[in-house]
Amino acid sequence: MQTKPEMTDMKWARVCWAIDLVPDGPVVIRAERGRGGLQYSRIPPEQARASLGVLPSGAVTTGCITVRDSLTHRLNVPFSSRTKAMKVLPSMLDIELPFPLESCSYCFLPDASAAAPGSTSSIAVAARTAEITKTLERYRAEGFDPMVLDHEGLALWTQGLAEHPLPAGDETPRVVARLEQDSCTLAAGLGRRFLASYSSGSSDIAQVERFLRVQLPGDADRRTDWIWTGSLAGRGGDPSGLMEKLPASRPGTSTVTSEPEAFAARGLAARVLINGPLACNLRSGPAVHPRLVARARTATMKTALSLAAAGLLLAAMAVGWRAAVKARERTLEAQFQSLCSELAGYEVTARGRDAILTVNREVERRMAEMKPFLRAFSPSLTHRLASAADMAKAYDMEYASLDLADETVSITGTAGDWEACDALLKQLRSYGYSARLDREDPRPQDGRIPFTVSTRPTP
Amino acid sequence: MKRQNTEKLVMPASLLILTAGVLAAVLAVAGIGTDTEELKRKVSLIEELQGMNRALKPCEEALAAFNGLEKKRPPAMSAILADRLPRHKPQSVTQSATKLTEGWTLVMKEVTFSEIPVGKAMFLAREAERAGLSEGAPPWRLRRCSVRPSPGNPGSGQAALTFEALRKDAD
């Protein structure tokens, strides 16, 4: 069964307990993300068992399946799309395996460093379910139940790169060799690219060299970067003499890692916390750790609830907007009806523009009724009458008729000169009359000028 | 098993709620233009009514001022004529009345003189207007004045004065 991505993605982890089962007893490393990178501390197994009884949130336990009990295989697919590639990878792996894919737990790790243009390269990591069960039983027998079951060879390789980095573009053959009392495990690659891993219970150098010839063909002449780790490497040499014989056949630099007995455990912890491209977890299907299942379930629930909350929020905003608009409309409608009724003097049943027309008719009727009241406060006509009389005296005008009302005026008579008529016209216009002046030629008998001032007839 | 079924339903249900929410939001956003137009239309109708109200206000205030007067009837024109112009008897006095609002009536009186000095006619007009004001009653107001001076005597002639006053009959 293929491992689900969420069982491998441990971005949430802050602390990792890595347990490496070796013949001398479990090696436990506690790693924590710090400002300066990962902080490792070795914990005695007894203390680890006690601490792991109640695992805090954000902590992960990890272990590994040995290279002997698992396999890695590079698969190249002529698709640049990883999604497409992932669809065919299981079938390709199934062909390569000597046993049914259904009886395996497997995952595909993207390896962009080895991909040709237009293709996708992946490392398939697989182990038979039975081997996984056995490995987990071994862990349980030691009092541990790792949430992640990583691959030993990959852990050796990536930790080798982490502790002994290679410059970018360096294609030096590298072999990370782990020497334990019961096994010899190798992870081989070119530069940063992992190629394959190998494990043997014996220290048969011929078998090891055969593996290297297959995996690193034509590289025998090139200098090989040897990295030695494992409990035997830490004791200053191994009884089998691999540390001397192998570099002799493939010369190069030879380095023993610091604290080699905890190297693999450090690698396991680092792979969980760094969550790099080669991270893997072979606990899949029924073998998935219950804590990860619960966590995945919680994450799904949280996502679902977030989506639901977002949906509800959007719906609430939409409903709120509609309610606000409706409330505003109701307020305006009430204000409108109230004003209509107030202005019309009765409840207006019409709505909208019809109501306006009704109210307008009513207002005009009321204004006509009330106009005499307003007119009572306007300037009196007696002032205009007095003014007209005063002007007659002042400008030597004799009125033959004078007709004065609020909006109309009509004065006929004679004036001593032209200017007098103009003065009268100006005065009347200042009162707001739209008046017109008609003058005749001076009368022959007395030279006086007949005139008529009157408001213009309404067109 | 029951819990697993519930968990299986949670995500589709959530997606359904999200879809409904998005749909509601989209509909709300799509309706913003229409809503805004409708609100603007209502506001403009209210502003139209408020304009009418502003035009009506001075008239109502004037009516209120009349309603606040102590007396609701103007001084009698006959008394004013007799008091102010005892030597000039009008040729005719005609009256008309128009019903207005709140029980008020507009009374028009046309006083015609066949021969009167123009100055006296003006005096009558001023006195008639003052009479009501001094008594706290609705005043007479000159609405129209028509004077025809006699030929050769411009200071005197035929005059017709039209007065109006507001009167409220007892309720």
Of B116, B100, B98, B95, the residue nearest B163 (C-alpha): B95
B93: Cβ–Cβ under 8 A, 6 or more apart, which residues? B77, B78, B81, B109, B110, B111, B112
Residue A459, pLDDT > 70, answer no
pLDDT in tens, A304-359: 999 999 999 999 999 999 899 999 999 999 999 999 998 888 888 888 889 999 99
Chain B interface includes A244 (CB < 8 A):
no
3-state secondary structure of A30: strand
Q: Do A308 and B17 touch (CB under 8 A)?
A: yes
Going by C-alpha positions, the residue among A40, A37, A33 that lies closest to residue A13 is A33
pTM above 0.80, yes or no: no
Mean pLDDT, chain A, rounded, equals 87
pLDDT at residue A246, as a whole number: 82
Beta-carbon-side half-sphere exposure of residue A334 (alpha carbons within 13 Å):
6
Q: Cα dist. B38→A175, A333, B35 in Å?
A: 78, 11, 5
**What CA–CA distance (Å, rounded) separates B158 from B91?**
10
- Find the CB nearest B52 among A328, A343, A400: A343
pLDDT for the residue A458: 43
Confidence at residue A148, expressed as pLDDT on a 0 to 100 scale = 92
Q: Hey, how many other C-beta atoms are within 10 angstroms of the C-beta on A441?
A: 7
Chain segment A74-112, per-residue pLDDT in tens:
998 888 888 888 889 999 898 888 888 888 999 998 887
Instruction: Name the more confident of A55 and B140.
Output: B140
DSSP characters over A216-276: STT-SSS--EEEEESTTGGGT--TT-HHHHHHHHS-S-EEEPSSGGGHHHHHHHHHHHH--
Interface of A with B in 326-385 (CB under 8 A): 328-329, 332-333, 335-336, 339-340, 342-343, 352-353, 355-356, 359-360, 363, 366-367, 369-377, 380-382, 385
Q: How confident is the model at residue A456 (pLDDT cuts 50, 70, 90)?
A: low
Encoded tokens for B116: 């009167």
Helix runs in chain B, H state only: 2-67, 77-84, 118-135
pLDDT tens digits, A154-207: 999 999 999 999 888 888 899 999 998 888 899 999 888 899 999 987 667 888
> Residue A202's pLDDT is what?
66
pLDDT value of position A128: 93
Ranges of H-type helices in A281-402: 290-344, 352-375, 381-394
pLDDT score at A286: 84
Which residue in the block uniquely carries the two structure tokens 């006053």? B165
Question: CB distance B118–A389 less than 8 Å?
Answer: yes
Residue A455, phi then psi, degrees to nearest 5 = -70, 145
pLDDT at B2: 61
Tell me what the mean pLDDT of segment A52-60 comes to.
81
Q: Is the pLDDT of residue A237 over 70?
A: no
Paired tokens of A230: 């494992």
Nearest to residue A415, comparing CAs of A434, A396, A441? Answer: A396
Which range has the worst mean pLDDT, A184-198, A274-288, A445-459? A445-459
| Torsion over CA: A361, A367, A370, A372 (sign) | negative
Q: A308: which chain B residues are within 8 Å (Cβ-Cβ)?
A: 13-14, 17-18
pLDDT (tens digit per residue) in B77-105: 999 999 998 888 899 999 999 999 889 99
More confident residue, A262 or A182: A262
ipTM of the prediction: 0.82
- pLDDT band, very low/low/confident/very high, at B22 (cuts 50, 70, 90): very high
**Is pLDDT above 80 for A3?**
no
The pair of structure tokens assigned to A252 is 């190069």
The verdict on a CB contact (< 8 Å) between A370 and B45 is no
Instruction: State which amino acid sits at residue A207.
Output: Q
Distance between CA atoms of residues A230 and A339, nearest Å = 94
